[in-house]
Amino acid sequence: MLDVKDINVYYGAIHAVKDISFHVDEGEVVTLIGANGAGKSTILKTVSGLLRSRTGSVTFLESNIGGVPAHKIISRGLAQVPEGRAVFLQMTVEENLEMGGFTRPGSEIDPGLEKVYDLFPRLKERRRQIAGTLSGGEQQMLAMGRALMSKPRLLMLDEPSMGLAPILVEQIFDIIRTMHQAGTTILLVEQNAQMALSVADRGYVLETGRIVTTGTGADLLEDESVKKAYLGG
Ligand code: ATP
């Protein structure tokens, strides 16, 4: 479904992503894990069209999307939940969700809202609340719900657990499992390697802009170097 080949991404002179290649197949949950600054967000932003790579290619559903603007990539079925959520703080929960459906025909908005509210009953309860007054966990649910409104074929999540209490992290990962079971393909970027690898079919470990290890989620959870560096053991 997604095939990233030999990309190199720079911020001016900073070489943030170095010769990265990876793929995501339909129906999979794939995770990119790594420490702060490893290049995880830069990779997602390159795939979603917010940044350009200097080399290589990004192929999504058999089309080369390198250089295609972000708003057009979303229409092709690739949605990103950004790090830090970036919900529209002054708008209500429902208005945020409606914004997420901007690529869909008007007739699909209400059925889309119903689906999101089934997955996140908390958002339904709070549909008229201003998003800026939601808790961090609720804002994460809203950002995920907003992305689902575009009916993505591939959903990219950038650090959904960031800043959340452990119980909320569990809830967010339960929702990721539910979305996966419902058939959504997911590319998940996380610093919380334990949680990410426990939901992922496959994972890639990044260090300073390079992939250093790859394997199934289960294998990486047992890998000694991964345990030592990312799992506190
Ligand atoms: P984190 O988990 O902290 O978000 P990350 O793995 O997502 O880290 P990136 O945000 O992709 O890492 O950053 C990769 C490298 O690129 C880092 O060295 C970072 O300082 C640098 N970088 C990121 N954004 C910019 C920018 N806008 N300008 C310059 N350098 C940047």
Ligand 1 nearest atom to the CA of residue 44, by list position: 11
Residue 213 to residue 201: CA distance in whole angstroms:
15
Answer for the pair 196, 158: CB distance below 8 angstroms, yes or no.
Answer: no
Position 35 pLDDT exceeds 90: no
Q: How far is the CA of 99 from the centre of ligand 1 (A)?
A: 27
Give me the mean pLDDT over the 109-130 stretch. Answer: 93
Q: How far is the CA of 41 from the centre of ligand 1 (A)?
A: 7
CB-hemisphere CA count at 13 Å for 96?
33
CA distance linking residue 215 with residue 144, whole number of Å: 26
Determine the residue type at 55: T
41 Cα nearest atom in ligand 1: 7
| Residue 228 in this model has a pLDDT that exceeds 90 | no
Q: Which atom of ligand 1 is nearest to the CA of 43?
A: 11
The CA 6 to ligand 1 mean position distance, Å, reads 19
Half-sphere exposure of 78 (CA within 13 A, CB side): 26
**Reported confidence tier of residue 227, pLDDT bands at 50, 70, 90:** confident
Percent of the chain with pLDDT over 70: 100
> From the CB of residue 102, how many other CB atoms can be counted at a distance below 10 Å?
12
CA distances from 141 to 38, 80, 103, 228 (A): 25, 13, 20, 31
Whole-number Å distance between alpha carbons of 131 and 2 = 32
Which residue's alpha carbon is at the smallest distance from atom 19 of ligand 1?
37
Q: What is the residue with the minimal CA distance to atom 10 of ligand 1? A: 41
Decide if pLDDT at 67 tops 90. Answer: no
pLDDT score, position 233: 61
With a cut of 90, say whether residue 217 has pLDDT above it. Answer: yes
Rounded CA-CA distance 75/104 in Å is 8
CB 48 within 8 A of CB 70: yes
- Residue showing tokens 């200097």: 54
- As a whole number of angstroms, the distance between CA 209 and CA 66 comes to 19
Ligand 1 center to 117 CA (angstroms): 34
Site to probe by mutation for ligand 1, drawn from 14, 17, 31 as the one with most ligand atoms within 8 Å of Cβ, is 14
Residues 204, 138: Cα–Cα separation, whole Å: 28
pLDDT tens per residue across span 87-116: 899 999 999 999 988 888 888 888 999 999
Q: Give the Å distance between the CA of 181 and the centre of ligand 1.
A: 32
Angle formed at CA 11 by CA 8 and CA 12, multiple of 5 degrees: 110
Domains of the chain: 2-77+152-230 (3.40.50.300), 87-151 (no CATH)
233 compared with 222, residue with greater pLDDT: 222
Mean pLDDT of the chain: 92
Contacts of 90 (CB under 8 A, 6+ apart): 130, 131, 132
Compute, in angstroms, the gap from residue 38 CA to the centroid of ligand 1.
Answer: 7
The pTM of the full predicted model, rounded to 2 decimals, is: 0.91
